[in-house]
Amino acid sequence: MKTKKIMATVLAGTLTASLAVGAVGCKSSKDALQISVVNVGYGVEWLHKLAEGYNSHNPDVEIDIDDSYYGGIDKQFVDQVLSGETDTDIYFSRDAMFEYMQRGQSAGGEYYDRILEDLTDLYEAENPYDNDRTMKSKIHPDVLRDISMKQEDGKEHQFSVPWVMDALGIMYNADLFEEYNLTVPNTTHELITLCEHIQTVDCAGTEAQNGKLTPFVDSYSDSYWNILTEGWITQYEGVEAMQGEYGFWNGYDPNGDRYYSTVLSYDGIERAYEVLHDLMCETNGYVHKKSKDLTFTAAQNYIIDKDYGVCMMPNGAWIQREMEQYEADDVHLGMMKMPIISSIVEKLSIWNEAKGTTFYTLSDEKKAEYDEKLSAAVKAVDEGKTECEGFTADDMAKIAEARGLLFSWTAGHVGYIPVYSDKKDTARDFLQYMVSDEGLRIFTQATNGCTQPYDFDYLGDETTSAAMNDFMKSIYGIVEESQLFLFEKAKDPLYCFGGVTLSYNWSGITMLQAFTANPNKPYNSADPVSGENYMTAKQFATYRMNLYEGQWTTVTAAAGVTAGGSQ
């Protein structure tokens, strides 16, 4: 099978990378600039190439790169920094490090106001590798907003430098969509209808499940369904309600009360669960049966190789780099713009139903009627129009905002410097080189077309354009026309230290467990350890509310906040 060949290739690549690290002499010289990097989706070749480029300008600087850190290593990086004894001068991680940007920290017997180097002045400095352009003027404004943290002086400071534009969404096999005349959905109702149709279609693929197309594949051990959940919650509620001054991400509930467990009572949470429940429920069969056992890398093979007949997968832009073992002409993927949650009609002027009625309680005929109108409005927005028959200007503005959201974890893919590093000046200089036009070209070439969140004409530049296939160019186009919204925007102490999350749990029964469990084994609150975990969307929303309510004193204490108060 092709999957075995792919995994063998990956393992061979891993061995090669490990040998290369040994040849470089990682951590062999105290005089060298020491860099540690997470070795996952985007790979590590970009950093090795970047170091070579930097050395072409600074031949006397020795650089040692440790790329031996694979999945689940973010805490290792943190532990190293907190030890106060790490030799690493720059970490390239998948952790936003928000908690270490707002509290003092002891490390190695010393106390530091901030354990990370404050890079605010670096952002404002002229970059000698970039025609003196400042990093602050070049970084994507939405990303700058997301990585910045307000300090005691009342100003926003920066402690990290993003190293990739991490775009997340629903990836689809473009060949299967074309071959079987499938239409990219505008709304969640269309998405679910599409799933229902897909599983009835005969598939010629040699590995197709039951000889039919399969709507989705996932890896339940490393799932990205929460990308979609948070996207649909935000679409329904609106950006202001979520990240405004008095919004969810600042600890406010829908009634404007701060730091109460009712922060999880936004209607959009249950509305998003309704969609996810329908997509994930075992009874519907929209998700490939092997998703429970597949690793994330193996699951990606199911959407990349059309022989499996799998049409879609929640995923990110890194998939392009990870499918490099395929011939370029053999793979044709697309990333769809986030389908708009159909329940948004409840907040539009076209909604004409009795109080207490929701989109999901409507008859199938009524749902289709409302959704047909909504899809037409979405189409109009995609065409750049501001009007659509039957919709007010406010309706169209809300639809346009929802359609324009792109969920990203760019603020969690960052480089940072321990404040006690004895090579901070060189580390800072290296970061400046990374964000220069020359550095951006190196990154895009080394990652098969991935981009970084800095102002650059990727399509107009001959080097980067040649490195990007149509798939990566389409993702770049979506990024350019979208409002970036930080996935799990956890800066406020309630989330950062208290551990509250928008859509999933760190303890108890998770959304994945609740929605993919056997529907014939419903959750019983009187016997919560029986392993019978199935819940409906409403039941799971209530379960999460009760879960946090029972722990709220512990949550607020850890966060250092009081219910009804401030930080």
At 29-63, the pLDDT tens digits run 678 999 999 988 888 999 999 999 999 999 999 99
Which residue has better confidence, 27 or 324?
A: 324
User: What is the chain's mean pLDDT, rounded?
Assistant: 89
What is the structure's pLDDT at 202? 96
Mean pLDDT of 180-188: 98
What is the structure's pLDDT at 10? 34
Proportion of the chain above pLDDT 70, given as a percent: 91
Question: Do 502 and 269 meet the contact criterion of CB atoms below 8 Å apart?
Answer: yes
Mean pLDDT of 343-350: 98
Proportion of the chain above pLDDT 90, given as a percent: 75
Residues contacting residue 401 through CB under 8 Å, at least 6 positions apart: 238, 239, 483
What is the structure's pLDDT at 329? 60
Which residue has better confidence, 125 or 470?
A: 125
What is the structure's pLDDT at 158? 98
What is the structure's pLDDT at 398? 98
Question: Do 51 and 431 meet the contact criterion of CB atoms below 8 Å apart?
Answer: no
Q: Residue 182 burial (CB < 10 Å; 0-12/13-18/19+)?
A: buried
Residue 163 pLDDT grade (very low, low, confident, very high; cuts 50, 70, 90): very high
Classify 258 as helix, strand or coil. Answer: strand
At 509-533, the pLDDT tens digits run 889 889 998 888 888 776 655 557 8
Which residue has better confidence, 552 or 502?
A: 552
CA angle (208 as vertex; 204, 210 as ends), nearest 5:
105
Q: Which of 74-78, 372-376, 446-450, 496-500 has the lowest mean pLDDT?
A: 74-78
Residues contacting residue 336 through CB under 8 Å, at least 6 positions apart: 169, 170, 172, 184, 185
Mean pLDDT of 238-255: 94
Tokens 């230290």 found at: 497
Question: Do 543 and 524 meet the contact criterion of CB atoms below 8 Å apart?
Answer: no
Classify 448 as helix, strand or coil. Answer: coil
Which value, in Å, is the radius of gyration of the alpha carbons in the chain? Answer: 24
DSSP-derived letter for residue 108 is T
* 106 membership: H or E segment, kind and range: strand 105-107
Residue 200 pLDDT grade (very low, low, confident, very high; cuts 50, 70, 90): very high
Distance CA 246, CA 197 (A): 42
What is the structure's pLDDT at 327? 59
What is the structure's pLDDT at 2? 33
Residues contacting residue 265 through CB under 8 Å, at least 6 positions apart: 253, 254, 545
SS3 content of the chain, % helix, strand, coil (to 5): 45, 15, 40
CA angle (62 as vertex; 57, 63 as ends), nearest 5:
95
At 492-506, the pLDDT tens digits run 999 999 999 887 776
Residue 22 pLDDT grade (very low, low, confident, very high; cuts 50, 70, 90): very low
Distance CA 474, CA 481 (A): 11
Question: Do 164 and 450 meet the contact criterion of CB atoms below 8 Å apart?
Answer: yes
Please determine, for residue 73, whether its predicted confidence score (pLDDT) is greater than 90: no
Please determine, for residue 3, whether its predicted confidence score (pLDDT) is greater than 50: no
What is the structure's pLDDT at 4? 28
Residue 395 pLDDT grade (very low, low, confident, very high; cuts 50, 70, 90): very high
Residues contacting residue 458 through CB under 8 Å, at least 6 positions apart: 440, 444, 451, 464, 465, 468, 476
Question: Do 486 and 409 meet the contact criterion of CB atoms below 8 Å apart?
Answer: yes
Distance CA 418, CA 210 (A): 53
Q: Which of 16-20, 47-51, 280-284, 491-495 has the lowest mean pLDDT?
A: 16-20
What is the structure's pLDDT at 316? 87
Residues contacting residue 373 through CB under 8 Å, at least 6 positions apart: 345, 350, 390, 391
Classify 69 as helix, strand or coil. Answer: strand
Which residue has better confidence, 45 or 9?
A: 45
Mean pLDDT of 205-223: 93
How many other C-beta atoms lie within 10 A of the C-beta of residue 272?
30
Going by their DSSP bridges, the two strands 110-112 and 105-107 should be labelled as antiparallel
Mean pLDDT of 81-103: 94
Question: Do 213 and 307 meet the contact criterion of CB atoms below 8 Å apart?
Answer: no
What is the structure's pLDDT at 525? 72
> Whole-model pTM above 0.85?
yes
Helices 2-24 and 296-304, interaxial angle, to 10°? Answer: 130
What is the structure's pLDDT at 328? 55
Mean pLDDT of 138-160: 95
What is the structure's pLDDT at 325? 65
Residue 341: CA count within 13 A, CB half-sphere = 34
Q: Which of 376-390, 429-443, 492-506 has the lowest mean pLDDT?
A: 492-506
